[in-house]
Chains A and B, each alone.
Chain A
């Protein structure tokens, strides 16, 4: 039976300010996708979207959780945090808009490309936020398998 029939899920806790471990959740999910033999283009898009979501929890929130579900049809990523929330989501979605502090910008983060990158790389993108409570980003990346893989 093909590995594509399997469903895998899991979650990672992320701590605000934990730049030292930034990328651990995204890298683990990527490794899982590689092990399952998921096609390259899906892995590429999931990696970009998940890492940007992980970074936003680290940069802006107190703590958060990233949940993933891998099915034969799609990869679902949910990033939910306790944090300041986003006042104007439309503004936050604009490329180049960022409230990151100077020291974060010096690290090369805070270019205001995170949310646009997430949206670009997912087929379904949804963001909900309550100021003073937190933010939740739901992303679905549809798998576009090529013929040979689909036949397996």
Chain B
């Protein structure tokens, strides 16, 4: 069995699976239940001045029978007084000393407010702090959460204030509601963050009821934008983690969050640079015990790969994540239809004919039976046919040797710029 123990910026946990700050970590009862189930750490529901919530606060987007493909909420931070939370954190930490408890914090962007809350939570023995600069609704209207997290200078300043007094590692949780997350990640690093985590939820409206014309969810006929999370946001989160991980100026560990539902998702985030992963929606959908499969799956994966410690996979895909201009323009793949598996539904033909490069032909064999065939020389290898194909193994995308050597866009433009330069200098 592989070693799953994790250390992110000095915060140690028996495995990399943490519950994200959200309803699953509302109370001591829940966090203790989670640790019993096997979670390695928990980021406590964000602490701050206790808020008031509305009723009817969650909504989910189901897609083609898949329940909770995306999840939307308009819930705010904790509605319980700080002392109540601190008492439960203290008791939980005492019972589970080897599990990580991280206090998520959100206060107004004032130095004395940050100093006050940091000192109070550290007194009860938390392992680290996570600054919530991400909550996209409600709190943002009051200048906190995403409103702070979208302004690099405020991220840096507030991180700095926290670091002035913090004795435990400080994780800065970033909002995805920004064009370039590396700008705020860098600001966090400049402010002294020991680690960053991402993503918080994405601005969203889950839907509109076409009969009543109400928003989904609605609060007595009125709605407000919420935060989106769950499986649908995973690709967005994974890219943001990757962009930060490959940026040399962001030289702190990352805790990856966003749509992680199983051990495979967790491995993807770790390969892309996450040291630990945090989960919210999947736990809300299926309960704490999903962590059992996550731990087993990760263990088997590492054993199968002959890897002794989970730490060895962190960031292994980062060097493979690059800019478009560095990709090989002459790398070629083409679609190959396996006619013995294909059910002749023609979805690939329609997709290619209507929306791609018109290179899948519907032919009739000598036995009179229809079959599909790719005209390889016209196939650009876009993958669309294999994406829409309903049958596993019916379409393979295979590498096709190219007589042309590898060439990136950047290399090409450099070569063109060079001849222009030569031409210009000869002209002089």
A is bound by B: no
Question: Which residues in B have some Cβ–Cβ distance to A below 8 Å?
Answer: none
